[in-house]
Chains A and B, each alone.
Chain A
Amino acid sequence: QVQLVQSGAEVKKPGASVKVSCKASGYTFTSYGISWVRQAPGQGLEWMGWISIYNGNTNYAQKLQGRVTMTTDTSTSTAYMELRSLRSDDTAVYYCARGGQYYPTRWFDSWGQGTLVTVSS
């Protein structure tokens, strides 16, 4: 069955960077893309961006441009999301989700379990 397994919780200081991984199994990794979605405590869902596993194309939310980088390692079927210059309002659960192969315009039919990133001095 399709599974997305994310790395564990992180605690970071303001200004630091975090890199979250998302290991896929149960399907052909290059046939879909991966989006990242975050959820601040008690809040709703915020789309952060998307990467095509097929060709490496990315599409990032404008508010995160310059701070976020999404990459993949097809040899291990793993996607990564790095967020830099962390602020307290980046504290959230970060999810990876399976989406479109060529374009980000597709629903998310499988989600990782989530990674809590806490930014605190």
Chain B
Amino acid sequence: DIVMTQSPDSLAVSLGERATINCKSSQSVLYSSNNKNFLAWYQQKPGQPPKLLIYWASTRESGVPDRFSGSGSGTDFTLTISSLQAEDVAVYYCQQYYNTPQTFGPGTKVDIK
């Protein structure tokens, strides 16, 4: 199984400041035949299901604010919230869908400082 790790476990950022979350996979999730990274990011607020933010490591889902961006390739990925808003308080998960079982990172909790 591909093991996903995230850092930090939690972070507190001032409103309007940048938040950066890292995700690492135990093996590459870059598929050579299409040069795409099989990596997604989700946001989960308390009592709600996860919400898709990013897929193919850097493609923003329709309707997701452009302050959310994804980057990285191979085994190392980053989710950046460029200017944290109050509604961004949540837990963020990365997920690999390169193979099965699909696996998620343990989550990073983002709070307001």
Q: With a CB–CB cut-off of 8 A, which chain A residues contact B103? A: 47
Taking a contact as CB atoms closer than 8 A, the residue among A44, A95, A104 that contacts B102 in the complex is A104
- Chain A interface size, as a band, is 20 to 34
Considering only CB atoms and an 8 Å cut-off, how many residues of chain B contact the other chain? 22
B100 and A105 contacting across the interface, CB-CB below 8 Å: yes
B-contact 0/1 string along A36-80, CB 8 Å cutoff = 010000001111001000000001011000000000000000000
Binds B, one of A9-17, A23-31, A82-90, A109-117: A109-117
Query: What is the interface of chain B, defined by CB distance below 8 A to chain A?
Result: 38, 40, 42, 49-52, 55, 61, 93, 95, 97-107
Q: Which residues of A contact B (CB under 8 A)?
A: 35, 37, 44-47, 50, 59, 61-62, 95, 97, 99, 104-114
